Chains A and B, each alone.
Chain A
Amino acid sequence: MTRGSRAAGRAGLASLQFGLVLFVLLPVFWMVSVSLKPATEPFAIPARLWPDHPTLANFLHAFRPEFRTYFINSVVVSLATVAISVSLGLLAAYSFTRTQFRLLSVLMALVLAAQMFPESAIIIPIYRIMRSADLLNTYASLIIAYVAVTLPVAIWMLRAFLMRLPPTLEEAAEIDGAGPLRTFLDIVLPLSRPGVVATAVFVLVVTWQEFLFALSFISSKSMRTLPVGINDFIGQYGISYGELMATSVLISLPVVAIFMVLQRYFVAGLTVGAVKG
């Protein structure tokens, strides 16, 4: 292959990459476009890609007091879930990785298999449990349920990551007389940071969009989270598509932003985790 044709090939591939990503992002672009359309500008048939007179008015409408309340609730619930799920997941994954006995493997398989249950079939019994524990309408109800859902996957991801760490490091620490807890805190924890970030992002993305539990456990308006809250805005008789899309953009922004900042770790963490999964 000549140098020139290789360069041309690379340019071709680069534009292919660019084009495909654009194609994937087209719906997102359209969401933003509709969110900028003034309420007075009617929808054209067939649809147009960009409004004639873009405006931020929809965003001003969408950013109402309820939205702010729901937003704060979502943040609290998501962050707490991430913190608990990742910590518990790390401890459990560490145990699974470093210790081999049959009972543990069986438990692990059972914990992972829990993902197979359709939520809508077990939501009423779960609701009863929350009620008898007096947890309805609390952050705790959601955090506990979300930890139960995300913890199995968190363990799976973290375990795959921890298995890549060379056991010699820990052995050296043990020879130095450090107990298992010390070893974990001083040696394992600092080394597993990329895996922790990757898992945290995964848990955050899942938690941020959960709908059915949030709908069932929370009735009070002041405790609602965003995915349920967006339905408040739709209601039976609907708001304009512009406002709906503006709200959608606002809901998506925080996760997208966090994700953009952390994506390097995320990809790195998964890189390690996935291979040895």
Chain B
Amino acid sequence: MKRGRWLVFLFVSPAVILVGVLMYYPMIGTVIDSLYATSFIDPTPKFVGLSIYREILTSIDFAEVVRNSCIWTAGVVLLQNVVGFAFALLLDQRLPGRALMRSLVLLPWVLPGVVAAILWRFMFDPQLGLINSFLIRLHLSGQGIPWLAQTSTALPAAIVAAVWKGFPFSTVVYLAGLQHVDAEQIEAAIIDGAGQLRRLFDVVLPAMRELIALNVILTTILTFNYFDMIWVLTRGGPENATNIFPTRIFELAFGEFRFGEGATYGVFSILVLTLLLALYAAIRRGAERKSAGA
């Protein structure tokens, strides 16, 4: 083992160096930038300490972006995992055509992000879109609903599109996990006379706790930083209804030439995401303590 240590470091070094140079080094630069008032039109940096932070913290924009980011992340992660799990349960049954169904259900995930976003913008189109076409034909709505053009429906619509794109990955992960739930435990539960639902909650879910936790964390990080979908669907509009951290940062830095504020939003973005993950960890710890106590 000892003589292998140098080899271990050799193997690990490319990953560490690449991530260090391309991710951490720029990130430190971003944190430093956020302490200076810099913008494209005024390139000489002035040290202003935390005053940009104070300014942003008290702005309405920031409050809206935080609220949207939390709703967006929570909504997509929750639905993606629930829908993903439900599909996994269904596809786990020994049914005819299972192999084909398993690969077909993965299609949305394989579709390039820009393509999926363009497709959903078209799906939601008030006049030409397929969704409103169904609503009109089924007489559920007279003229169709402008999903992406109302502040009340834009974010939920974007969440639906993102869930469609992302749930298949969760399905595969859970499908894999289901195959490793101990068959004996399930049989024992059946002999005990447990119904389908009881079986699910008493045996399957506890057995997959670790896996669910991991998948939730991974999808949280990916969703929080998911840029393409909202950018193509609404660019963060109407008003600020779908503006989340990545779209707001892009809008500030490249749409309005305000690099300093973009950097500050970037730092906040990392903070909020860390908070979200900490919150999640706390909830889990609480739930575990409760289940251990019971």
| A–B: direct contact at CB < 8 Å | yes
User: Could you list which residues of chain A lie within 8 angstroms of chain B, going by C-beta atoms?
Assistant: 10, 13-14, 16-18, 20-21, 24-28, 30-31, 34, 43, 45-49, 88-89, 91-92, 94-96, 98-99, 104, 107, 110-111, 114-122, 124-126, 129, 144-145, 147-148, 151-152, 155, 180-181, 205, 208-209, 211-212, 226-227, 230-231, 241, 244-245, 248, 251-252, 255-256, 259-260, 263-264, 266-267, 270-275, 277
A270 to B88: give the CA distance in the assembly, Å: 13
Contact check, B253 vs A24: say whether CB atoms are below 8 A apart: no
Chain B 90-123 interface residues, beta-carbon cutoff 8 Å to A? 90-91, 93, 95-99, 101-115, 118-120, 122-123
With contacts A114-B24, A151-B19 known, what are 19 further pairs, Cβ within 8 A? A10-B93, A17-B90, A17-B97, A20-B87, A24-B164, A28-B119, A46-B133, A46-B134, A88-B14, A117-B27, A118-B227, A118-B246, A120-B254, A180-B4, A211-B228, A241-B128, A248-B112, A266-B172, A271-B180
B60 sits at the interface (CB 8 A): no
Contact check, A263 vs B106: say whether CB atoms are below 8 A apart: yes
Interface pick from B74-82, B146-154, B266-274: B266-274
Contact check, B249 vs A151: say whether CB atoms are below 8 A apart: no
Q: Total A-B pairs in contact (CB under 8 Å)?
A: 252
Contact check, B250 vs A120: say whether CB atoms are below 8 A apart: yes
Partner of B176, one of A17, A144, A267: A267
If the complex has contacts A212-B227, A244-B118, A252-B110, are A21 and B101 also in contact, measured as CB distance less than 8 A? yes
Q: Which residue of A lies closest to B1 (CB)?
A: A99
Q: Shortest distance in angstroms between B176's beta carbon and chain A's nearest beta carbon?
A: 3
A199 to B164: give the CA distance in the assembly, Å: 22
Main SS at interface, chain A:
helix
29 contacts between A and B (CB under 8 A): A10-B95, A17-B98, A30-B130, A95-B9, A98-B8, A99-B8, A111-B16, A115-B225, A116-B221, A116-B225, A116-B270, A116-B274, A118-B270, A120-B250, A120-B262, A121-B263, A121-B265, A121-B266, A122-B23, A122-B29, A126-B22, A205-B109, A211-B114, A227-B113, A230-B114, A241-B128, A245-B119, A252-B110, A272-B176
A115 to B224: give the CA distance in the assembly, Å: 11
If the complex has contacts A10-B95, A99-B5, are A267 and B102 also in contact, measured as CB distance less than 8 A? yes
Cβ of A251: which chain B residues have Cβ within 8 Å of it? 112, 115
Contact check, B123 vs A27: say whether CB atoms are below 8 A apart: yes
Q: Which residue of A lies closest to B262 (CB)?
A: A121
Q: Which residue of B lies closest to A152 (CB)?
A: B19
Contact check, A116 vs B273: say whether CB atoms are below 8 A apart: yes
Partner of A119, one of B98, B133, B180, B246: B246
Contact check, A26 vs B4: say whether CB atoms are below 8 A apart: no
Question: 9 closest A-B pairs (Cβ-Cβ)?
Answer: A121-B266, A125-B26, A271-B176, A46-B133, A209-B112, A91-B11, A122-B26, A95-B8, A47-B133
Cβ of B93: which chain A residues have Cβ within 8 Å of it? 10, 13, 17
Contact check, B11 vs A95: say whether CB atoms are below 8 A apart: yes
Contact check, A270 vs B103: say whether CB atoms are below 8 A apart: no
A48 to B265: give the CA distance in the assembly, Å: 43
Contact check, B97 vs A122: say whether CB atoms are below 8 A apart: no
Cβ of A30: which chain B residues have Cβ within 8 Å of it? 119, 123, 130
Cβ of B246: which chain A residues have Cβ within 8 Å of it? 118-120
Cβ of A99: which chain B residues have Cβ within 8 Å of it? 1, 4-5, 8
Partner of B130, one of A47, A88, A125, A129: A47
A209 to B152: give the CA distance in the assembly, Å: 30
A241 to B93: give the CA distance in the assembly, Å: 39
Partner of A21, one of B24, B104, B109, B119: B104
Cβ of A252: which chain B residues have Cβ within 8 Å of it? 110-112, 115
If the complex has contacts A27-B120, A152-B15, A267-B176, are A248 and B115 also in contact, measured as CB distance less than 8 A? yes
Contact check, B107 vs A277: say whether CB atoms are below 8 A apart: no
Q: Shortest distance in angstroms between B221's beta carbon and chain A's nearest beta carbon?
A: 5
Contact check, A277 vs B214: say whether CB atoms are below 8 A apart: yes
Q: Shortest distance in angstroms between A78's beta carbon and chain B's nearest beta carbon?
A: 11
A34 to B54: give the CA distance in the assembly, Å: 50
A14 to B94: give the CA distance in the assembly, Å: 9
Q: Which residue of A lies closest to B247 (CB)?
A: A120
Contact check, B30 vs A121: say whether CB atoms are below 8 A apart: yes
If the complex has contacts A126-B26, A274-B211, A277-B214, are A20 and B90 also in contact, measured as CB distance less than 8 A? yes
Cβ of B215: which chain A residues have Cβ within 8 Å of it? 274
Partner of A259, one of B103, B129, B221, B250: B103
Contact check, A118 vs B249: say whether CB atoms are below 8 A apart: yes
B185 sits at the interface (CB 8 A): no
Contact check, B176 vs A92: say whether CB atoms are below 8 A apart: no
Contact check, A155 vs B112: say whether CB atoms are below 8 A apart: no
Contact check, A119 vs B114: say whether CB atoms are below 8 A apart: no
A151 to B249: give the CA distance in the assembly, Å: 25
If the complex has contacts A99-B1, A274-B177, are A46 and B132 also in contact, measured as CB distance less than 8 A? yes
